[in-house]
């Protein structure tokens, strides 16, 4: 009998993962925020995943942090700013050598969770899959992609990668997961804040090529200084390629702001600026970008952390 997958957070990625694991008949349980959310979930038939326009509903069992039973494997699928507190609520249920898979974007939250749970194995993930919530308990699989998983302190892959294979979740074990996360963070810092400031789609940043190039140069300097030279390689050309390939898209940060949702700025641009300060590195354009973004968020009444 496979170990149960406890999925913390029934948002876009949590539902995408839980539905595919359930589809492969693997044991899955969904941990919801509180009893009110659980009661709301239980009025329906389960989680619905819409893929290629076709909806399927999977009767995944829901619970809350105070439900009984130990947790051996936990997929943390909440936002970076919620991860530490959400995991803390479950600490009393974690088995001594529990494994956690951290799906958060950016950097900072993974280390915070790992420091909170020295006994557990924390596996970091970086995903190019895309999903969005159409309504509560109903998620659209919007962009097929890939998920890299890795453990910076322990290079052996876990046996449960077989479960992902069975569930049809495209993935690979990565021995340089931190490099992947830094690279993704740098791409995000070069694109997403500007789309918020200029209120534009990714493609419209082609009109701000010089600004993008200056940011890329500063980000590359930061990556080198943080011991991530591989993440710095050809950064500008990849940023330009992403801007072109996703020209019609609105960035995730743009969408958060447009929908008056809190952004993950502290784990993206904020993390980059903090790392620069730690290394006493002066990166004027990156720092100015953060000031402008914080001003923009505050002006809209959104949290700037």
Q: Which residues bind ligand NAP (CB under 6 A)?
A: 8-14, 31-33, 37, 77-80, 82, 86, 89, 103-105, 127, 129-131, 133, 264
Which residue is closest to ligand NAP by CB?
Answer: 11
45 labelled catalytic: no
Beta carbon nearer to ligand NAP, 163 or 256 = 256
Beta carbon nearer to ligand NAP, 32 or 231 = 32
CB of 65 to ligand NAP, least distance (A): 7
CB of 2 to ligand NAP, least distance (A): 23
CB of 31 to ligand NAP, least distance (A): 6
Query: What DSSP assignment string belongs to the chain?
Result: -PPPEEEE--SHHHHHHHHHHHHTT--EEEEESSHHHHHHHHTSSSEEEEETTEEEEE-PEEEETTSSS-EEEEEE-S-HHHHHHHHHTTGGGEEEEEEEEE--SSSSHHHHHHHH-TTSEEEEEEE--EEEEEETTEEEEEE---EEEE-TT--SPPTTHHHHHHHT--EEE-TTHHHHHHHHHHHHHHHHHHHHHTT--GGGGGGGHHHHHHHHHHHHHHHHHTT-HHHHTTHHHHHHHHHHHTTTPPPHHHHHHHTTPPP-GGGTHHHHHHHHHHTT---HHHHHHHHHHHHHHHHTT----
Beta carbon nearer to ligand NAP, 185 or 235 = 185
Active-site residue among 184, 189, 242, 283? Answer: 184
CB of 10 to ligand NAP, least distance (A): 5
Beta carbon nearer to ligand NAP, 23 or 262 = 262
Q: Could you give the residue numbers annotated as active site? A: 184
């Amino acid at each position: 009998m496979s170990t149960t997958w406890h999925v913390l957070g029934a948002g876009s990625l949590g539902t995408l993962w839980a539905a595919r694991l359930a589809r492969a008949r693997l044991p899955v349980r969904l941990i919801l925020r509180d009893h009110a959310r659980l009661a709301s979930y239980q009025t329906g038939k389960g989680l619905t995943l819409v893929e290629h326009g076709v909806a399927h509903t999977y009767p995944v069992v829901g619970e809350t942090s105070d439900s009984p039973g130990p947790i051996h494997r936990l997929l943390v699928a909440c936002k970076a700013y919620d991860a530490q507190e959400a995991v803390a609520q479950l600490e009393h249920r974690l088995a001594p050598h529990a494994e956690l898979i951290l799906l958060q974007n950016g950097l900072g939250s993974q280390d915070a969770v790992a420091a909170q749970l020295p006994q557990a194995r924390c596996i970091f993930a970086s995903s190019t899959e895309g999903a969005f919530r159409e309504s509560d308990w109903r998620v659209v699989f919007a962009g097929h992609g890939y998920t890299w998983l890795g453990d910076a302190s322990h290079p052996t892959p876990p046996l449960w990668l077989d479960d992902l294979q069975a569930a049809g979740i495209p993935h690979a074990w990565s021995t340089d997961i931190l490099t992947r996360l830094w690279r993704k963070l740098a791409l995000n810092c070069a694109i997403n804040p500007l789309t918020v400031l200029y209120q534009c789609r990714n493609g419209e940043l082609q009109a701000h090529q010089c600004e993008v190039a200056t940011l890329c140069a500063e980000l590359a300097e930061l990556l080198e200084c943080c011991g991530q030279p591989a993440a710095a390689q050809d950064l500008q050309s990849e940023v330009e390629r992403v801007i072109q390939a996703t020209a019609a898209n609105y960035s995730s940060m743009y969408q958060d702001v447009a929908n008056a949702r809190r952004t993950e700025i502290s784990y993206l641009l904020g993390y980059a600026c903090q790392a620069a300060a730690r290394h006493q590195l002066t990166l004027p354009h990156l720092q100015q970008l953060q000031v402008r973004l914080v001003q923009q968020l505050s002006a809209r009444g959104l949290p700037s952390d």
